[in-house]
């Protein structure tokens, strides 16, 4: 579905409802697509939801705390490696 910016401003709530039904709405200005409205659930979000449902991933809804990875000390600094890599 495609609409103009003017139509979007005039009928925003209607187009948001339609976006939920059709998954995406293109917004045009001077007959060129300038934006796209898509539903809130992207393919990436669906993949994450599937991993959570199947069990390989777990999340309690709180902010992630990070992995329990220990870095060894005594090696070169990352900043030095980056500078060396850049030349």
Domains of the chain with CATH codes: 2-54 (3.40.1620)
81, two tokens: 């490696």
pLDDT at 33 over 80: yes
Helix, coil or strand: residue 11: coil
pLDDT at 43 over 80: no
Task: Let me know: does 37 contact 27? Beta carbons within 8 Å.
Answer: yes
Model pLDDT, residue 41: 63
Task: Let me know: does 3 contact 15? Beta carbons within 8 Å.
Answer: yes
Model pLDDT, residue 50: 79
Model pLDDT, residue 11: 83
Model pLDDT, residue 13: 84
Which residue is listed with tokens 């060894």?
A: 72
80, two tokens: 């030095």
Residues of the chain above pLDDT 70, percent: 86
pLDDT at 1 over 80: no
Please tell me the pTM assigned to this model. 0.37
């Amino acid at each position: 579905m495609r609409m103009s910016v003017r139509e979007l401003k005039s009928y925003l709530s209607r187009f948001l409802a339609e976006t939920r039904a059709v998954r995406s709405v293109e917004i045009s200005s001077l007959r060129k697509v300038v934006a796209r409205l898509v539903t809130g659930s992207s393919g990436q979000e669906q993949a994450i939801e599937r991993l959570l449902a199947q069990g390989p991933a777990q999340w309690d809804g709180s902010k992630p705390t990070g992995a329990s990875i220990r870095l060894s000390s005594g090696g070169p600094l990352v900043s030095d490696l980056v500078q060396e890599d850049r030349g």
